[in-house]
């Protein structure tokens, strides 16, 4: 690993711990993923700063602290089937794959989906991450398995939790993490399925791009 990025990764890990991240597995996964491969060339010097970065098309790569928190809340275990809505450049998908998840990720903007596929393939994640171009609001029921997804993570904000996606969540213990709210006020929410009921908890204010229903090229 390039020595420059290695030092930055150590500094980022300190920042994540200071922000409250405690799960050692999540911290190790984030350290292993080369975030500089998932940002535009002009932003590589900021790859390991704890900030969101623009990736074009009005989208961003989330700040590492938010990625870490959302990943912690998913409680990913080896072999879990995880659905991600909003692939971006593929960074969150890589972190999930490092934890042993089978990731099915949907991106509605074709150039981002293509870039993510190329990067994830280059870095050896091809067998653990499947990328789809389309309307993520529909989920991917075909790949949910008999029991549904173990976890769903949505990297865009909506005014409510989409019922169609809740229906693809594992029937017992499934977790869904997403920002809920409008453009000016959002709350990170965790939904846990317990039988036919859903338990909700709030995990702090956040800022995400809007969740858009419909296909865009």
Q: What are 141's two structure tokens?
A: 């029921």
SS3 176: strand
Rounded to the nearest 10°, the torsion over CA 41, 42, 47, 50 is -150
Q: Is 62 a catalytic residue?
A: yes
- Decide: 55 and 40 in contact? Cβ < 8 Å: yes
| DSSP state string for 36-93 | GGGS-GGGGGGTTSSS-EEEETTEEEPPHHHHHHHHHHHT--TT-EEEEE--TTSHHH
Active-site residue among 43, 47, 62, 137? 62
Tell the burial category of 91 from Cβ atoms under 10 Å away from its Cβ (0-12, 13-18, 19+). buried
Catalytic residue numbers?
62
């Amino acid at each position: 690993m390039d020595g420059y990025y290695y030092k930055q990764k150590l500094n980022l890990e300190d920042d994540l711990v200071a922000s409250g991240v405690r799960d050692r597995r999540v911290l190790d996964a984030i350290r292993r993923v080369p975030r500089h491969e998932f940002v535009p060339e002009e932003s590589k010097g900021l790859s390991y700063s704890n900030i969101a970065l623009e990736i074009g098309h009005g989208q961003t790569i989330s700040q590492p602290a938010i990625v870490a928190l959302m990943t912690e809340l998913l409680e990913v275990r080896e072999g879990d089937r995880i659905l991600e809505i909003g692939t971006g450049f593929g960074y969150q998908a890589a972190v999930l794959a490092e934890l042993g998840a089978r990731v099915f990720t949907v991106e509605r903007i074709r150039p981002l989906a293509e870039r993510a596929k190329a990067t994830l393939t280059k870095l050896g994640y091809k067998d653990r991450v499947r990328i789809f171009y389309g309307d993520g609001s529909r989920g991917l029921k075909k790949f949910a398995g008999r029991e549904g997804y173990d976890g769903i993570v949505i990297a865009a904000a909506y005014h409510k939790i989409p019922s169609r996606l809740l229906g693809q969540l594992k029937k017992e213990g499934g977790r869904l993490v997403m920002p809920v709210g409008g453009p000016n006020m959002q709350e990170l929410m965790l939904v846990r399925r317990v039988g036919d009921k859903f338990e909700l908890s709030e995990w702090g204010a956040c800022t995400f791009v809007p969740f858009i229903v419909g296909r865009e090229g």
